[in-house]
Structure 1
Amino acid sequence: MNVDLKKKIIPAIPGFVYAVCLVFGHSLEKEGSIAYRDGRLWLTILILGILLSAALTVIMNQLQKRLLPKGLEHETGQQIRQVPAGRMTFLYAGIIFLCYLIVFLGVYPGFFVYDAQDELMQVITRSFSTHHPLFHVLLMGGTVQLIHKLTGSYNAGIACYTLLQMAALSLIFGYGIRKLKEEGMGRRGGILLLAYFGGFPTIVMFSLCSAKDGLFTGMVLLMVLMLCAFFRDPAGFFQKKGHCACLFLSSCLMMLLRNNGFYAFFVFVVFLALLFLKAEWKPYRKKMLLLCAGAMLAFLVVNKGFAFVLHADDSENQEILTVPIQQLARVYSMEGDTLTEQQKETLFEILPEEALKRYNPKVSDPVKVDFDNEAYEADKGKYRRLWSDLFREHPFGYFNAWFMTSYGFWYPGAVIDVYKGNTVFTFTYEGSSYFGYEVEEPGERKSLIPLVDRAYRFLSLDERAQEIPLLSLVLSPGAMFFLWTFVLCFFWYTGQDRKLWPFLFPGLLFLTVLLGPTYLVRYVVFLWVLLPVLLWELCRKSERKAAEK
């Protein structure tokens, strides 16, 4: 691509993406739908897109002039600073763990939430399903039940699992800080990262939460660190067996903790295969593809092995059909009088009318919970035809249904209140569903530091936390999406492709959550955890070869 043309086109991509997100998001937040036929909406997007593109062009130009010449020099295959590896990793991990311990005492025995009871009951009753990743069911549920057997206390079991996860994530974050310091990060940067990983509320919440999202995010962090090392110095990467083992294990565990991780990783490996067609990657092509393929194979063997040994029920389809289910429910709920009797009859075979009446625009759970898997399996073609027929008749309704369950991921002004009105074990959600916060039965909250408990309850459940100007932005998935998009486009704009490629995988992960049941922070915690690595790559000077292009 012509350099001048490239310099004009690249800023326009995030410029118009931001414009669409802002205009669509505002409409969805205020009206619950988008008026696609309103010409003023598209005119607003056009004008805003042009203005944002122009502004981003100036910003990227200035950033390139100011940042790149001052970037930290880095010679391929050499470490800038020699840091005592094990000792420093444990030191950083210990400091982070102590920060977590204060919060742990405040919210004792931890945050036992997001289907935690369901996973524990699978272990207690020995009745398993693949609805939740079996690896996490056995890890979390097994730990809680084992400690309960030994002590007679479920709180002790929950606390034990929480402490183990805190320790694991503290070590991972400590390792991440040490890796960045090896690459030249200074003392102040290290202190800032200790404060960030140890004290930023969103990260702390999920480090003390029994849900799989914390450990999953830790594995993604390790993967991205290894991918950065590979793309920076592929020859040096394969000389360090520890790096290869870390990438293999973290990739495998990441997929075992979340099914969407497998889909994102598969697409990422396809991208690698295409990238490696270039001659410069030929010496590393076979090794890297074998490593990634081995991780996927290991995941499939272990995952299928768990399902086979545990006789797990794998008949559910509703998780992968979340968006189509929500689209059918919206059309019935809002335009049901336009459906023929035959269409309604077919729809009721897989979604009972009672379930369709529970339609919530922001979350698919109330409807999909009653999806009839047996009926769907008996004649998939019939129900796919129903979906396609209704799509042709109600395309805008389908788009609105999908956007309403995902706009919180890409609109900075979205208030995360998807569970508003839902009653759970210890409270009823009101204006905020930022974080689940509670301890599900059979656990019980016994705070030892009530002030900490009140602070995290405020951040989790009080809508005011999402309305305070600066705080609302740093807590917003949409704001993180804007920041990530800008930095990745800047790498492309400046020809720093080797900095861009490691972050393609979390980008693919982000795309998978857009097809999920709702927009919750738990699905995109990696945006915050990986942010220091992304910003470090932004500040770090490229290898000469990349910089000279």
Structure 2
Amino acid sequence: MQEYAAKPKAAGGGEEMEHAGKNVKYEGRASGRQRLCFLALAAALFAVADSGRFLAVPVYGELFSLRTAGLVLVTAFCLRLALAPFEARRVVCGAVCGFLMGLMTLLGLGYSLNRSLLITPWRYAAALAAVSVIDAAFVGAFLRLTDRGRDRERVEGSLPEAGFNRAKRLGRPGDGLRLWLLLTFLTGCVYVPVFLAVYPGVYSYDASVQVLQCFGGLPLSTHHPLLHTWFLCGCLKAGLVWFGSAQAGLALHSVLQSAFVGGVFSAVLCRMRRRSAPRLFLALSWLFLAANPYLAVFSFVTTKDVLFGAFFLLTFDMAFDMTACPEGFFADWGRTALLWVCVLFMCLFRNQGIYVALFFFCLTGLCWIRRGRGAQAKRLAVFTLTAAAAWYALSGPVPALLGAERGDMREMLSVPMQQLARVYHEAPDTLDGEERAYLEELIDVRALNSYVRVNADPVKSGFRTEVLKEDPGRFLKVWAAVGLRVPRIYLDSFFMGNWGYWYPGASQYWISYILFDGAFMEADWNLLGIRRDSRLPVLEEWLRRVTLTPAFESVPVLRFLFNQAFPFWLALLSLTAAVYRRRFEEALPLLLVIGYWGTLLLGPVTNLRYALPLIYSVPVMAGRAIGWQTKRPGCSSLPDPE
């Protein structure tokens, strides 16, 4: 643990502290010359980014506008915080994070406008440097502001002791339960009107296909997680048996799912409070999770992503306990079992959950081995292997015994098939006769002709998996050979399909924001005749208007917070903060977010529901980025048991 000692006040009202063995002077005020220099630097950066001389379009807007003037002033203030006093570690961390954000900003801006920003390479490089410095200034200012409060806390008393004493004040018997009940009640006050407005629920996305597998003639398949199919169809069956109505069954599904999700939100917020999160931050987090109309509506949507997101959130939050103090965590069988169950259900509710879990646990184990925690790494290996074995049994042999067919492997090949289809359309001369014939054999010609840049589903619908299985090596050979000839098209196709997950400046939608009025509602698909029967039509109309035409995009702050790329930027900021503070144990759980985000890049399309787990994790990541936590004496940051 780094030690901090108070020093006498310097002349001019400054305050000095010993930080990691070095005297760092925290200036109370900057001189007039410093302010002028930072203001001039900020103005120069925005002149490069928005003048139109370095890029084909401005990055932040019109150069001579009140908005840009405000951004210049804020950036100048952030530059002052980030650079004065100078600290090499803060500058380096901010520069690396700022460069990544700047690169994503310029690339994403080009893809969102579907045009090139390049005038000349050196001008593009200059614009990239300017945008990177602007982003680095904000990151550096954030690191400075969130670290300074802990400096004072360390001067007044050791952080573990101070945090533990506060935890004891917050942790009187029954406080946790009372707070959970209060938050759950408040969430219910939001959810009940929404439920009545969308009654009996939002029968949308893949629900009709899943119902046909259980009630109709479609064969049972693991393409959609069987656990979710059984949960949905079990509720519908209960409604038919108990009430003689599938409407009642869908209402039962809506009540159970929303109650579970609301309970999870409340539990995570309680744990954040135990980590010393202020009440204001807790209230804002509740507003983001529960009172957010988009997330509130999703709690009643029949998609697996909702329950998967809830278990992902629990796993992510508990992972901080595990990595902070593995000795204490694995000694507590109750906590270990709870995390094991959350990991298992996370994997069962979405097929890529197992890959995300293995990515996190394997890298965490390797990190522990490297840091001399071999005993804890062995426990983690047992934990991981047993969870993986349970997942394999419940997703492989058990479904096979029940007659379920395996899902189509084409779901994993959205990126390569979309790349080949793009070459087929935009650079057909680069394909020789044999490659073209194979491509038309592999993918139905009608599907190839329905190709669109931003969505792989049309091409995927005509993909013939049996052709691939006959000779997988040939597919890899053709795909690699074509890619070596036109690597730029391959890279452009990849980024075009997923820029919505890493560029927060615009929203990438190929369908309505939420399928509010359902999907596959035609008689041939809607076997049980489920229909909307709203009890609050005025609220229903408002929710329809809000979710189908996201009006928040006209509000600058909300536009950024509710964007699908915001969670990744927040994860990047949290990772930077953990590295800057040398809290590497707090960086490890972010592998869950980064791992799942990586799987989204390989998906067929950018869609809000796919990003739900990351959006649910925003308050936890924000709290960790700011640095709120509670520590036990002798242990890293494991909160006291509830």
For residues 479 and 319 of structure 1, do their structure 2 counterparts lie closer, same or farther at Cα, with a shift above 3 Å needed? same
More deviation in 188-197 or 517-526?
A: 188-197
Query: Where does 1:137-286 land on structure 2 (aligned, <5 Å)?
Result: 137-278=229-370, 281-286=373-378
**Alignment partner, residue 534 of structure 2:** 447
Cα displacement (A) at 1:322: 0.8
What CA distance in whole angstroms lies between the structure 2 residues aligned with 1:100 and 1:122? 30
For residues 50 and 539 of structure 1, do their structure 2 counterparts lie closer, same or farther at Cα, with a shift above 3 Å needed? closer
Query: Where does 1:121-520 land on structure 2 (aligned, <5 Å)?
Result: 121-125=212-216, 127-278=219-370, 281-314=373-406, 316-419=408-511, 433-440=512-519, 441=521, 442=526, 443-462=530-549, 464-520=551-607
Cα displacement (A) at 1:463: 5.0
What CA distance in whole angstroms lies between the structure 1 residues aligned with 2:569 and 2:556? 16
**Alignment partner, residue 68 of structure 2:** none
What CA distance in whole angstroms lies between the structure 2 residues aligned with 1:39 and 1:336? 32
Instruction: Tell me if the contact between 1:110 and 1:439 (Cα under 8 Å) persists in the aligned partners.
Output: no
The total of aligned residue pairs comes to 534
Query: Where does 1:92-107 land on structure 2 (aligned, <5 Å)?
Result: 92-107=183-198
Supply the AA of the counterpart residue of 1:214.
V
Unaligned runs of 5+ in 2: 1-20, 23-86, 637-642
**Alignment partner, residue 523 of structure 1:** 610
What CA distance in whole angstroms lies between the structure 1 residues aligned with 2:173 and 2:619? 19
For residues 134 and 330 of structure 1, do their structure 2 counterparts lie closer, same or farther at Cα, with a shift above 3 Å needed? same
**Alignment partner, residue 422 of structure 1:** none
Paired residue secondary structure (1:359): coil
What CA distance in whole angstroms lies between the structure 1 residues aligned with 2:362 and 2:613? 22
The one-character-per-residue Cα deviations of 1:251-296 (angstroms, maximum 9, x if unpaired) are: 0000001111111111111112211214553442322321222111
**Alignment partner, residue 199 of structure 2:** 108
Paired residue secondary structure (1:318): helix
Supply the AA of the counterpart residue of 2:250.
I
What CA distance in whole angstroms lies between the structure 2 residues aligned with 1:46 and 1:294? 48
Instruction: Tell me if the contact between 1:81 and 1:184 (Cα under 8 Å) persists in the aligned partners.
Output: no
Does residue 539 (structure 1) correspond to residue 627 (structure 2)? The answer is yes
For residues 145 and 179 of structure 1, do their structure 2 counterparts lie closer, same or farther at Cα, with a shift above 3 Å needed? same
Cα displacement (A) at 1:36: 11
**Alignment partner, residue 27 of structure 1:** 110
What CA distance in whole angstroms lies between the structure 1 residues aligned with 2:382 and 2:504? 40
Cα displacement (A) at 1:68: 5.0
Supply the AA of the counterpart residue of 2:200.
P
The one-character-per-residue Cα deviations of 1:296-317 (angstroms, maximum 9, x if unpaired) are: 1111111113421232222612
**Alignment partner, residue 130 of structure 2:** 47
**Alignment partner, residue 64 of structure 1:** 147
What CA distance in whole angstroms lies between the structure 2 residues aligned with 1:61 and 1:27? 32
For residues 51 and 172 of structure 1, do their structure 2 counterparts lie closer, same or farther at Cα, with a shift above 3 Å needed? closer
What CA distance in whole angstroms lies between the structure 1 residues aligned with 2:165 and 2:510? 47
What CA distance in whole angstroms lies between the structure 2 residues aligned with 1:168 and 1:541? 26
The one-character-per-residue Cα deviations of 1:402-421 (angstroms, maximum 9, x if unpaired) are: 111110111112223213xx
For residues 541 and 132 of structure 1, do their structure 2 counterparts lie closer, same or farther at Cα, with a shift above 3 Å needed? closer
Instruction: Tell me if the contact between 2:567 and 2:615 (Cα under 8 Å) persists in the aligned partners.
Output: yes
What CA distance in whole angstroms lies between the structure 1 residues aligned with 2:281 and 2:147? 21
What CA distance in whole angstroms lies between the structure 1 residues aligned with 2:574 and 2:426? 40
Supply the AA of the counterpart residue of 1:19.
G
Instruction: Pick from 157, 164, 176 the counterpart of residue 75 of structure 1.
Output: 164
What CA distance in whole angstroms lies between the structure 1 residues aligned with 2:118 and 2:336? 50
- Superposition TM-score, scaled by structure 1 size: 0.90
What CA distance in whole angstroms lies between the structure 1 residues aligned with 2:119 and 2:320? 41
Supply the AA of the counterpart residue of 2:470.
A
Instruction: Tell me if the contact between 1:96 and 1:197 (Cα under 8 Å) persists in the aligned partners.
Output: no
The one-character-per-residue Cα deviations of 1:181-202 (angstroms, maximum 9, x if unpaired) are: 3333455554444443321123
Instruction: Tell me if the contact between 1:435 and 1:460 (Cα under 8 Å) persists in the aligned partners.
Output: yes
Instruction: Tell me if the contact between 1:82 and 1:182 (Cα under 8 Å) persists in the aligned partners.
Output: no
Unaligned runs of 5+ in 1: 420-432
What CA distance in whole angstroms lies between the structure 1 residues aligned with 2:458 and 2:150? 49
**Alignment partner, residue 53 of structure 2:** none
What CA distance in whole angstroms lies between the structure 2 residues aligned with 1:337 and 1:35? 26
Cα displacement (A) at 1:51: 4.0
For residues 205 and 484 of structure 1, do their structure 2 counterparts lie closer, same or farther at Cα, with a shift above 3 Å needed? farther
What CA distance in whole angstroms lies between the structure 2 residues aligned with 1:164 and 1:268? 30
For residues 415 and 278 of structure 1, do their structure 2 counterparts lie closer, same or farther at Cα, with a shift above 3 Å needed? closer
Paired residue secondary structure (1:276): helix
What CA distance in whole angstroms lies between the structure 2 residues aligned with 1:338 and 1:134? 43
For residues 356 and 170 of structure 1, do their structure 2 counterparts lie closer, same or farther at Cα, with a shift above 3 Å needed? same
Instruction: Tell me if the contact between 2:225 and 2:351 (Cα under 8 Å) persists in the aligned partners.
Output: yes
Cα displacement (A) at 1:149: 4.3
What CA distance in whole angstroms lies between the structure 2 residues aligned with 1:88 and 1:305? 43
Instruction: Tell me if the contact between 2:568 and 2:594 (Cα under 8 Å) persists in the aligned partners.
Output: no
Supply the AA of the counterpart residue of 2:542.
A
Supply the AA of the counterpart residue of 1:392.
L
For residues 293 and 317 of structure 1, do their structure 2 counterparts lie closer, same or farther at Cα, with a shift above 3 Å needed? same
Cα displacement (A) at 1:64: 1.8
Cα displacement (A) at 1:213: 1.0
**Alignment partner, residue 424 of structure 1:** none
Q: Considering Cα pairs closer than 8 Å and 6+ residues apart, tell me whether 1 or 2 has the greater RCO.
A: 1
Question: What is the aligned-residue RMSD (CA, Å)?
Answer: 2.8
For residues 526 and 372 of structure 1, do their structure 2 counterparts lie closer, same or farther at Cα, with a shift above 3 Å needed? same
Cα displacement (A) at 1:229: 1.8
What CA distance in whole angstroms lies between the structure 2 residues aligned with 1:218 and 1:436? 20
Instruction: Tell me if the contact between 1:408 and 1:478 (Cα under 8 Å) persists in the aligned partners.
Output: yes
Supply the AA of the counterpart residue of 1:82.
R
For residues 196 and 369 of structure 1, do their structure 2 counterparts lie closer, same or farther at Cα, with a shift above 3 Å needed? same
What CA distance in whole angstroms lies between the structure 2 residues aligned with 1:35 and 1:367? 30
More deviation in 42-51 or 107-116?
A: 42-51
Supply the AA of the counterpart residue of 1:363.
N
Paired residue secondary structure (2:410): coil
Supply the AA of the counterpart residue of 1:453.
E
Cα displacement (A) at 1:385: 1.0
What CA distance in whole angstroms lies between the structure 2 residues aligned with 1:278 and 1:82? 39
What CA distance in whole angstroms lies between the structure 2 residues aligned with 1:204 and 1:339? 49
More deviation in 402-411 or 533-542?
A: 533-542
Instruction: Tell me if the contact between 2:348 and 2:391 (Cα under 8 Å) persists in the aligned partners.
Output: yes
Paired residue secondary structure (2:194): helix
The structure with more radius of gyration = 2
Paired residue secondary structure (1:490): helix
What CA distance in whole angstroms lies between the structure 2 residues aligned with 1:34 and 1:523? 29
What CA distance in whole angstroms lies between the structure 2 residues aligned with 1:540 and 1:406? 32
